[in-house]
Structure 1
Amino acid sequence: MTHKTNFLIVIAGPTAVGKTDLCIKLAKKFNTSILSSDSRQFFKEMNIGTAKPTVSELMEAKHYFIDHLSIHDPYDVRIFEKETLQLLENLFKNHKCVIMTGGSGLYIDAVCQGFDEMPDIDPLIREELNRLYRTSGIESLQRLLSEVDPEYFETVDKNNPHRLIRALEVFRGTGKPFSSFREKKRVDRPFKIIKIALYRDRAELYARIDMRMDQMIAQGLFEEARELFAFKDLNALQTVGYKEIFDFIEGRYDLEEAIRLLKRNSRRYAKRQMTWFRRDESYVWFHPSQNDQIIGFIADQIG
């Protein structure tokens, strides 16, 4: 790996854009494996709502970092970075290139360019923010973060209180916005990185998101969420596709409204993902239908 003769092929893009199909085709073409950087697909208890590859798709190509954790396991982006780099070192012994795919930009960036060490924060600050969340709701956290760190607020999952609180506690503990700790010089990885992002027309993408949500509901998404309801406060479950159903179970709105919010929030999540990836000029953009062009582009890069 030290001579940079190996390549990490990143296939990024918003939810429902078509990453899974493309990555399986690429894995077969280049005889390699796929690493998931989708932070929601790590957890074995979360299946329908995370749009994991199907059993047949998993059999078509070797996948890593899918169903390898429980929602009860402590895990974060730093652990993912460390485990991925260790895995890549082993995979590159037998593969010239490895594919990494997902829609979690933070996890992709951690592997490609390193992750800033965050300062230790007084736990009293977190306790104070948690009290604010309990008494005033998530809207209070959203409002504060939009004021003190609009850059991070633009891309963060605004319905995830844990991430909002983390960003706010860093600001209150250091006086610096959370986004400022993600701007250090990139680390030099011992492999080359090819970054591809997938896009679709907005109307096309949103229609696919709505259709996927209908399929998830038909497959039993509400039943899956009911089984996980007792653990709804765990960090792993602070995500679109589950929170809306938890609120429905608690009687905050009816079924029709829950489905409307599931689709709306999924579309908003996709928009934030696109915003994140567009900020990185090293991505080369393709429509998922451009299989031959994508394969040709990669082949030219790896030689």
Structure 2
Amino acid sequence: MSNKEKVLIVVVGPTAVGKTDFCVQLAKKLATEVVYADSRQFFKEMQIGTARPTVEEMLNVPHYFVGHLSIKDEYSFGHYEKDALKLLDHLFLKHDFVILSGGSGMYVDAVTKGIDPMPTSNDEIRAHLNQRHKDEGLAPLLKELEIKDPEYYQKVDRANYQRVIRALEVIEITGEKYSSQRKEYVAERSFKILKLGLDRDRQELYDRINLRMDLMLDNGLLKEVESLLPYKDKNALQTVGYKEIFDFWDGKHDWDTAVELLKRNSRRYAKKQLSWFRRDASTHWINPSELDKALEIIKNFD
């Protein structure tokens, strides 16, 4: 294949659907490597609560962007886009196919579409909003965004304070909704993109999520979260699997309630992921057991 015919196989799907095992099996069939687009997997301290691939799962299949950062590091979409594209250029020198395993929609978009270079910014307004976030927390900023731009409020990752602040900054500068100023930006890429979506029967998926949460707790999630208490305000930790147990440590609810919320919020997170990924009509949806079907789709991809 020429460089223009290189193909990035993007595998998306909800938490606990079985992306890791599927990507490993697919990578072995294609003799290639796996790049992660899951912000929850980046930080080495967040191992149990993110269901990071095990050493055994990664055996003979190189994985990238897994546990490569510290929770103390600041890492943005922009950093990831730049690092991922540089890595892909290198991997495509030796592979016709590379797999991108995606759990975080915005990080998948950073690689496949690029980041919309909206230029409007104001250091003073940004500093003021950051100070408000530090003093008051995220909730008041989210409420303001819901009032000023309900359309973007429905789409934004509400745990990502940087995205919320960015939207409010643009609204304050321009006097217009952020959502009305965002265009469908798609950057040029030197490779083709094929998207495979993994899904299961809903009850089966929810049962897998509940089981995964039980296994995380058995494997020491409580101890892992305790070790991260000094960093609980970090954006990376404002996520399912950590927030519920931080709230337990803070005395906001008892342990049984924490476990119940852990499972419920994980199911809600899965629904949100599916809603995000299903927006792309070009995605081929399959069951994780249908590896042969995936290979047929790849074979016929033009």
- Asked if the contact 2:4–2:191 (Cα under 8 Å) also holds between the matched residues in 1, the reply is yes
Aligned to 1:197: 197
Distance 1:265 1:162, change over 3 A: farther
More displaced stretch, 7-16 vs 152-161: 152-161
Q: Partner amino acid for 1:230?
A: P
Is it true that 1:285 corresponds to 2:282 in the alignment? Answer: no
Offset at residue 3 of structure 1 (A): 4.6
Q: SS at the partner of 1:106? A: helix
Q: Trace 1:35-184 onto structure 2 (pairs within 5 A).
A: 35-118=35-118, 119-128=120-129, 130-131=131-132, 134-135=135-136, 138-180=138-180, 182-184=182-184
Offset at residue 161 of structure 1 (A): 4.1
Give the Cα–Cα distance (whole angstroms) in 2 for the partners of residues 132 and 34 of structure 1.
36
Offset at residue 79 of structure 1 (A): 0.9
Q: Partner amino acid for 2:238?
A: Q
Q: Partner amino acid for 1:257?
A: T
Offset from partner CA, 1:198-226 (integer Å, 9 cap, x none) = 11222222221111111111111111011
Give the Cα–Cα distance (whole angstroms) in 1 for the partners of residues 162 and 259 of structure 2.
24
Q: Partner amino acid for 1:213?
A: M
Offset from partner CA, 1:31-63 (integer Å, 9 cap, x none) = 000000001101111100111101101114110
- In structure 1, the gaps of 5 or more residues are none
Q: SS at the partner of 2:253? A: coil
Offset at residue 121 of structure 1 (A): 3.1
Offset at residue 132 of structure 1 (A): 6.6
Q: SS at the partner of 2:228? A: helix
Give the Cα–Cα distance (whole angstroms) in 2 for the partners of residues 227 and 5 of structure 1.
46
Distance 1:65 1:296, change over 3 A: same
- In structure 2, the gaps of 5 or more residues are none
- Asked if the contact 1:11–1:23 (Cα under 8 Å) also holds between the matched residues in 2, the reply is yes
- Asked if the contact 1:138–1:161 (Cα under 8 Å) also holds between the matched residues in 2, the reply is yes
- Asked if the contact 2:199–2:285 (Cα under 8 Å) also holds between the matched residues in 1, the reply is yes
Q: Partner amino acid for 2:30?
A: F
Distance 1:75 1:159, change over 3 A: closer
Offset at residue 170 of structure 1 (A): 3.1
Offset at residue 15 of structure 1 (A): 0.8
Give the Cα–Cα distance (whole angstroms) in 1 for the partners of residues 256 and 122 of structure 2.
42
Q: Partner amino acid for 1:282?
A: S
Aligned to 1:269: 269
- Asked if the contact 1:241–1:266 (Cα under 8 Å) also holds between the matched residues in 2, the reply is yes
Give the Cα–Cα distance (whole angstroms) in 1 for the partners of residues 127 and 205 of structure 2.
37
Give the Cα–Cα distance (whole angstroms) in 1 for the partners of residues 48 and 180 of structure 2.
35
More displaced stretch, 45-54 vs 173-182: 173-182
Q: SS at the partner of 2:10? A: strand
Q: Partner amino acid for 1:131?
A: R
Calculate the TM-score normalised by the size of structure 2. Answer: 0.91
**Paired-residue identity, %:** 51
Offset at residue 240 of structure 1 (A): 1.5
Offset from partner CA, 1:173-204 (integer Å, 9 cap, x none) = 33344445553441221111101111122222
Q: How many residues align?
A: 301
- Asked if the contact 1:35–1:99 (Cα under 8 Å) also holds between the matched residues in 2, the reply is yes
Q: Partner amino acid for 1:301?
A: F
Distance 1:183 1:197, change over 3 A: farther
Offset at residue 126 of structure 1 (A): 4.9
CA RMSD of aligned residues (A): 2.2
Calculate the TM-score normalised by the size of structure 1. Answer: 0.91
